[in-house]
Every structure is written in structure tokens, then in C-alpha cells.
Amino acid sequence: MQRKKRVLVTGGAGQLATTLQRTVQSIDESIEFEFANSKDLDITNPEAVTDFFNKGNFDYCVNCAAYTQVDKAEEDSETALLINQQGAKNLAKACHGSNAKLIHISTDFVFDGTQSSPYKETDRPSPLGIYGHSKFKGEQEVVRNMDQYFIIRTSWLYSAYGHNFFKSMLKYGRERDQLSVVFDQVGTPTSAHNLSEVILKIISEEIDNYGIYHFSNEGVASWYDFAAAIFDINHIEVDLKPIRSKEYPTPAERPAYSVMDKEKIKKVLKMDIPHWRESLLAVSEILRKESV
């Protein structure tokens, strides 16, 4: 009898890992998943990571653990770098030492947003803030310490679970008569449900085209467009006002344009990617069903 593939998922309490956990329930039983939150595994502790891998006999590690508080990172760079850089380094070393493959989740915030055409994997990162800087440093640690890795940069991640822009807009839209959302930051919303499917495809099909990939849903939107679609699809009436970023100052500067080119991942995985509005409809439906 063939041994089951063993997959460790870090950041087990976060929205991507939670979405992944719900998704794996429908896949074949030849893959065994272990979801570890920060209490189960402190990825910033190299000895703890090595020990965890020695006991786990993992074939894959999906690193969903990250410091993602973009604004807070500006005043807490030490913690952001500890989790996003040192944590990635520890996992990469442990994967390399145990011959496990790493699927590491990164971000569009590694770019400064000055381009006017979609960012390719070969474009030079130039992060604006501490969060993007720490994630780029994490990417470099993965590349430096192992060969069998997939770095997946994604953008504007949301799902039916955890804390995200989608769920915040639903809450605020029902509580308030008027909302203002920036229209001069452009990117692509990404369903964590679709990203989970990509991760599972890499594992189940044992894809071995290692390297850096970009993945988001298709299409382009501003945060204002995204909010308007959330309200439209979920039948919420609210007076939505478009504003410029300078009217809503934040500690961290965001890229004005972070649309990513996805030709590489579509070609390697031989897949079609749904438009962000189509995925928003699907996620809204999942949330409705689970709220009943």
C-alpha cells in the first residue's frame, strides 16, 4: 500500500489555512494534512521547526504563516521580519533537510506600484513598506536555502473566513449609511478558495516546475470597485463614495498599481482562472450557506 503524502500547513488559524482546510475535505484521501497554528509550531524558533519536521515526515509544507498587519508593521518591523523573514528561512532549511517541497505564500506588496502594465515574476521587487520588505526578505531566504520551492505571490486575499476586506465591507455596509473607499489603488481581488485550489493542484499533481509564480483572479479593480461589487452582489444599499488615498492616510504606503501577470501559472498548471467578480459571487454564496 502506497504511503499517503504528508502535508504540513503553517498559520493554521489564518484565513488561507482555514479555507484550505475546508477545501481538502473534498479531495482524495491519498493526501494527509496537518494544520499547525502558532501555538503548535513557532516558525521563528529554528530548533522547534527542525524538531517538528523530524517527527512529521512531511512531503510538502504550505507556509500560510505570516505577519500581515501592513500598517502595524511600520512600527513593529522587528516582529514582521522575525515571522516573515526568519520564519521563512527556518521552514526552507527544514524542508531542504528533510527533502520536503515548500509552497510559500507571498504578496504583490513586494512591488512599488509604479508600473502601468501587469507585474511579471521577473520584474524587480521594490517594496514601499516594512510588510512588503519583510515578505521580500522571506522570498530571498527561501531561494537561498532550498531548490524545491513554489513562491506564490498573491493580492487582495479574501474568503468566507477570518478577517478581510470582503467581510469588513459586509459588516460596515449593514451598519452605516455612507462609506468612503479609495479608488486610486488598483489591483486584483483574490479568492482564497481559488488559491487553495491552486495549492492542492500543485500537490496532487506533483508539479515540479519550481520557482516564483503570480496568482490572483482575472481582471482589474480599485478598492472602490471591489467594495461596490460586494454591496451589489450581496444586495446591500449604502452610499459609497470614491476618495483618493491622500484623503485616507495610513502609516504604510500602498502600491498604486499591483496587477500581476498570471501567464506563467496558467501555462504550467494548465488552468483557467476565474474573473474576480465571478469568484466574489461564489464566496458570497459560501458565506450565505454557512451563515444559515
Catalytic residues: 131
| Spatial contact of 227 and 169, defined as CB atoms under 8 Å apart | yes
Report the chain's C-alpha Rg in angstroms: 19
Q: How far apart are CA 231 and CA 240, in angstroms?
A: 9
Q: How far is CA 238 from CA 166, 179, 202, 249, in A?
A: 15, 7, 41, 23
Under 8 Å between Cβ of 4 and 32: yes
Let me know if 286 is exposed, middle or buried by CB neighbors in 10 A (0-12, 13-18, 19+).
Answer: middle
Which run of H or of E encompasses 224?
helix 223-233
Q: Cβ–Cβ contacts within 10 Å for residue 2, how many?
A: 5
DSSP codes joined into one string, 158-187: E-SSSS-HHHHHHHHHHH-SEEEEESS-EE
Task: Kindly state the cell numbers that stand for 137.
Answer: 526578505
